């Protein structure tokens, strides 16, 4: 369906990534947000709090991130598209409810504007060190989708994509910004509402008698107040949503939750590639680091090095096939990231020994010097 | 359909998921009794069941959500109130009941409890207080009276307990009552009254856990507890909540303690937006359907 024009601020704007993310959420149809203040993410909900009363929705500032991350799921089952926004310390608190959303198949979006950690770390400075937490942070086996914008324009465009994925797969989607992308201001073009495709909620068409909330991969959702009298639980449950804590039901449920994302990985995975046709070395990057890497790639090409670019737009599911295919043709991957080695492990795993992997780590608090990435490209070219 | 003239049918059965029986609660447990009173209150107050949602947290009382034939949500430990807050704000037409235990609502969920009362979110909270953590084996709760023996205070508790009616009144609740599972009719009446209130209502139900609290404290079985509730309960409507704290084996002050009016969260929110934004304000109930 097309976007509700009430939420779409069509035009050309000069926005930072946080504000653009808010506009993306409104364009995607988000009409409920629950948040808790935390730097460097708060601007997203500040803008939402200002905008949403004029488009027909609600913002509430909750007492903590535990509350925010479950209030939004109440909003979803009440019939709204909903999201919350946080940064590292708050993201840690939200893990409980990322698991609940995965288990109950509640479509929703968690925005994490990453800052340096661990713990309170660097409140106002960037990092990309929550990437593994986004994938594995809650207990138990589950799958999520995670997106990594690298510009305010992408903060707008990909927030819509995040909501659409959430609805399509009935899964919590992690929107993994970083402090630099959140606070950099650039041109953001917001198209007319009739040019924005939004995925509607997969609401059941079945009668009350025939309705099974957990029979399939997500085309069976109902909302409270419609007469379905359905049950939702974080316990292991059967197709009716009733608790059933037996190994066969656990096996069926957890495998289904995992397979609905794994089996669709090819359709979900988004990446940007450049000059891969003749590449010996591929720089794999995401978020703000991809823009620093661009300078290093250009400099390396100017020196005659055959280097290509693979920018991850979805970090999760990880584009394993793409890396495996490239590994068969290239000498090495160079993986710069604002952490001490997270996504590089995935690259290494997917390359499976067929190509070397060079991490260019940075503990956060700033971005790489492009020369560090260039040096790694030079070293990788020689291997 | 409910037919109260047919005495072969249990009148509360239409409110239950019969296909989930038998329930998990122990013999002598009071939670089922509270559900019975809740169902009676639904009959009496003629609430539209299709617009009624029930939210529970984790624990023995948390399982209520799984047994009632309503839109029902069994959430995470302590988080029933914030989930219910989101549900109510996104869908203001719903009547939202939070049904959970003392440990869930006042320990891990204690922060949410006081903030929902402060905001005066229009929720009806039924707190079944069995004075311990029962599901996990009888550990000390914030409500356990001093000197009671629990699995984590095997030599007796010594930390002061919460007086829940006092806590929620101070935080801003508009309706506060307490009954025991002996007072089934009074409890049903209080639940019906809470449905007439707009704002944060809190009903505490003192309930036995014969398996883990009564037994460990040598208080007898379920029937002995009913006798205790009958003999030691004192109805004091309007009693100052500062004076209704519980003691081990002591008097239990019951009754309706608080019944007052102040605007609920959504009323205040709308008034503020109308005052500042005027015609630019679009009420959330005018939201477009997300279903396409």
Inside any domain, residue B38 = yes
- CB-closest option in A54, A55, A60 to B89: A60
Angle at A85 between CA A80 and CA A90, to 5 degrees: 130
Which residues of chain B does A72 touch, with a Cβ-Cβ cutoff of 8 Å? 86
Checking if the pLDDT of A284 tops 80, the result is: yes
Which one of A5, A59, A70, A236 would you mutate to disrupt binding with B, by most B Cβ within 10 Å of its Cβ?
A70
The answer to whether B256 touches B238, Cβ cutoff 8 Å, is: yes
Question: Strands, E, within B130-174: which ranges?
Answer: 132-133, 139-140
Which residues of chain A does B59 touch, with a Cβ-Cβ cutoff of 8 Å? none
Please tell me which residue of chain A has the smallest CA distance to B286: A56
Q: Which residues contact A167 (CB under 8 A, 6 or more apart)?
A: A81, A107, A199, A200, A201, A202
Q: What is the pLDDT of residue B285?
A: 65
Q: Do B280 and A54 touch (CB under 8 A)?
A: yes
Distance, C-alpha B237 to centroid of its chain:
19
Counting beta carbons within 10 angstroms of the beta carbon of residue A61, is it exposed (0 to 12), middle (13 to 18) or buried (19 or more)?
A: middle
The answer to whether B189 touches B43, Cβ cutoff 8 Å, is: no
Tokens representing A226? 């419609």
Q: Which residues contact B183 (CB under 8 A, 6 or more apart)?
A: B229, B233, B254
Inside any domain, residue B281 = no
Q: How far apart are CA A61 and CA A49, in angstroms?
A: 9
- CB-closest option in A4, A34, A234 to B74: A234
The owner of tokens 């620093």 is A292
Tokens representing B24? 């998990």
Q: What is the pLDDT of residue B8?
A: 75
Indicate the pLDDT class of residue A342, thresholds 50, 70 and 90.
Answer: very high
Average pLDDT over residues A310-315: 98
Radius of gyration for chain A, computed over Cα atoms and rounded to the nearest angstrom: 21
> How many independent structural domains does chain B possess?
1
Scored b (16 or more CB within 10 A) or e, B242-261 reads: eebbbebeeebbbbbbbbee
**CATH code for position B221:** 3.40.50.970
> Tens of pLDDT along A89-100?
999 999 999 999
Inside any domain, residue B272 = no
Q: What rounded mean pLDDT belongs to chain A?
A: 97
Kind of pairing between the strands at A145-147 and B252-259: unpaired
Q: What is the pLDDT of residue A149?
A: 98
Inside any domain, residue B267 = no
Angle between helices A343-351 and A320-327 (to 10 degrees): 50
Domains of chain A and any CATH numbers: 5-195 (3.40.50.970), 272-382 (3.40.50.920)
Question: What is the value of ipTM here, to two decimals?
Answer: 0.97
- Quick count: other Cβ atoms within 10 Å of Cβ B273? 16
Q: What is the pLDDT of residue B2?
A: 53
Checking if the pLDDT of A227 tops 60, the result is: yes
Please tell me which residue of chain B has the smallest CA distance to A5: B288
The alpha helices in B178-264, defined as continuous H runs, are 184-196, 222-232
Q: Do A67 and B111 touch (CB under 8 A)?
A: yes
* CA dihedral over B215, B219, B223, B225, signed as positive or negative: negative
The answer to whether B252 touches B233, Cβ cutoff 8 Å, is: yes
Q: What is the pLDDT of residue A220?
A: 85
> Tens of pLDDT along A104-138?
999 999 999 999 999 999 999 999 999 999 999 99
Q: Quick one: which of A223, A265, A202 has its CA closest to A1? A: A202
- pTM, to two decimals: 0.97
Q: How far apart are CA A49 and CA B124, in angstroms?
A: 27
Tokens representing A367? 């971005």
**At B170, which helix (H) or strand (E)?**
helix B164-171
3-class SS of residue A15: strand
Inside any domain, residue B164 = yes
User: What residue numbers bound the domain in which B135 lies?
Assistant: 13-261
Q: What is the pLDDT of residue A215?
A: 86
Q: Quick one: which of A119, A125, A132, A162 has its CA closest to A28? A: A162
Say how many Å lie between the first and final Cα of chain B, rounded.
33
Average pLDDT over residues A164-179: 98
- CB-closest option in B72, B78, B86 to A74: B86
Checking if the pLDDT of A101 tops 90, the result is: yes
Tokens representing B188? 């049903």
Tokens representing B254? 């019951």
Long-range contacts of B246-252 (CB under 8 A, 24+ apart): B246/B131, B246/B143, B246/B145, B246/B161, B246/B163, B246/B206, B247/B145, B247/B146, B248/B145, B248/B146, B248/B147, B248/B148, B248/B217, B249/B219, B250/B145, B252/B178, B252/B180, B252/B206
Residue % of chain A over a pLDDT of 90: 98
The answer to whether B132 touches B138, Cβ cutoff 8 Å, is: yes
Q: What is the pLDDT of residue B291?
A: 76
- Quick count: other Cβ atoms within 10 Å of Cβ A352? 12
> Tens of pLDDT along B7-34?
678 889 999 999 999 999 999 999 999 9
- CB-closest option in A201, A228, A230 to B290: A201
Checking if the pLDDT of A79 tops 90, the result is: yes
Which one of B24, B86, B118, B281 would you mutate to disrupt binding with A, by most A Cβ within 10 Å of its Cβ?
B86
Mean pLDDT by 10 residues, chain B (292 residues): 65 93 96 97 95 98 97 98 98 97 98 98 98 97 97 97 98 98 98 98 98 96 96 98 97 98 98 97 74 71
Checking if the pLDDT of A21 tops 60, the result is: yes
């Amino acid at each position: 369906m097309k976007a509700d024009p009430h939420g779409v601020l069509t035009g050309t704007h000069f926005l930072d990534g946080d504000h653009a993310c808010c506009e993306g959420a409104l364009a995607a149809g988000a009409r409920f947000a629950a948040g808790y203040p935390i730097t460097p993410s708060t601007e997203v909900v500040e803008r939402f709090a200002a905008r949403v009363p004029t488009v027909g929705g609600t913002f509430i500032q909750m007492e903590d991130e535990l509350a925010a991350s479950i209030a939004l799921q109440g909003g979803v089952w009440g019939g709204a598209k909903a999201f919350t926004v946080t940064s590292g310390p708050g993201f840690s608190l939200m893990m409980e409810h990322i698991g609940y959303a995965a288990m109950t198949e509640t479509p929703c979006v968690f925005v994490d504007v990453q800052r340096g950690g661990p713990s309170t770390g660097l409140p106002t400075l960037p990092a990309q060190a929550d990437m593994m937490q986004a994938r594995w942070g809650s207990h138990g086996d589950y799958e999520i989708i995670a997106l990594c914008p690298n510009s305010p324009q992408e903060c707008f465009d990909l927030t819509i994509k995040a909501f659409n994925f959430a609805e399509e797969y009935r899964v919590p989607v992690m929107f993994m910004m970083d402090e630099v992308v959140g606070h950099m201001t650039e041109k953001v073009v917001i198209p007319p509402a009739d040019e924005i495709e939004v995925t509607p909620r997969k609401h059941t068409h079945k009668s009350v008698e025939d309705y099974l909330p957990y029979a399939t991969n997500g085309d069976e959702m109902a909302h409270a107040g419609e007469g379905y009298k359905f049950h939702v639980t974080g316990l292991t449950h059967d197709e009716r949503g009733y608790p059933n804590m037996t190994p066969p039901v656990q096996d069926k449920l957890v495998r289904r939750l995992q397979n609905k994302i794994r089996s669709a990985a090819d359709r979900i995975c988004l990446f940007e590639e450049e000059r891969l046709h003749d590449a010996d070395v591929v720089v794999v990057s995401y978020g703000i680091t991809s823009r620093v890497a661009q300078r290093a790639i250009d400099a390396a090409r100017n020196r005659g090095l055959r280097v290509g670019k693979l920018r991850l737009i979805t970090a999760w599911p990880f584009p394993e096939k793409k890396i495996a295919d490239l590994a068969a043709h290239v000498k090495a991957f160079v993986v710069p990231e604002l952490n001490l080695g997270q996504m590089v492990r995935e690259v290494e795993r997917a390359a499976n020994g067929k190509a070397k992997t060079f991490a260019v780590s940075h503990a956060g608090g700033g971005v790489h010097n492009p020369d560090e990435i260039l040096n790694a490209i030079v070293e990788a070219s020689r291997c | 359909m409910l037919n109260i003239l047919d005495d072969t049918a249990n009148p509360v059965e239409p409110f239950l998921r019969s296909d989930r029986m038998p329930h998990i609660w122990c013999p002598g447990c009071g939670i089922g009794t509270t559900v019975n009173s809740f169902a009676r209150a639904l009959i009496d107050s003629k609430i539209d069941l299709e617009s009624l949602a029930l939210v529970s947290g984790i624990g023995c009382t948390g399982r209520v959500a799984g047994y009632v034939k309503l839109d029902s949500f069994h959430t995470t430990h302590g988080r029933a109130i914030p989930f219910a807050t989101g549900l109510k704000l996104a869908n203001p037409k719903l009547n939202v009941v939070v049904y959970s235990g003392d440990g869930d609502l006042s320990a891990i969920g204690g922060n949410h409890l006081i903030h929902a009362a402060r905001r005066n979110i229009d929720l009806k909270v039924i707190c079944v207080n069995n004075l311990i953590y029962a599901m996990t084996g009888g550990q000390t709760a914030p409500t356990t009276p001093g000197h009671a023996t629990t699995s984590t205070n095997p030599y007796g508790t010594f930390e002061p307990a919460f007086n829940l009616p006092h806590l929620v009144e101070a935080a801003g609740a508009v309706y506060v009552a307490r009954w025991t599972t002996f007072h089934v009719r009074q409890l049903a009446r209080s639940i019906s009254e809470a449905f007439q209130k707009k704002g944060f209502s809190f009903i505490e139900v003192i309930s036995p856990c014969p398996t883990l609290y009564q037994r460990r404290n040598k208080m007898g079985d379920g029937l002995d507890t009913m006798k205790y509730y009958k003999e030691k309960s004192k109805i004091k409507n309007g009693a100052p909540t500062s004076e209704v704290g519980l003691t081990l084996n002591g008097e239990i002050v019951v009754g309706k303690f608080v019944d007052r009016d102040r605007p609920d969260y959504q009323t205040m929110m709308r008034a503020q937006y109308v005052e500042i934004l005027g015609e630019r304000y679009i009420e959330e109930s005018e939201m477009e359907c997300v279903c396409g």
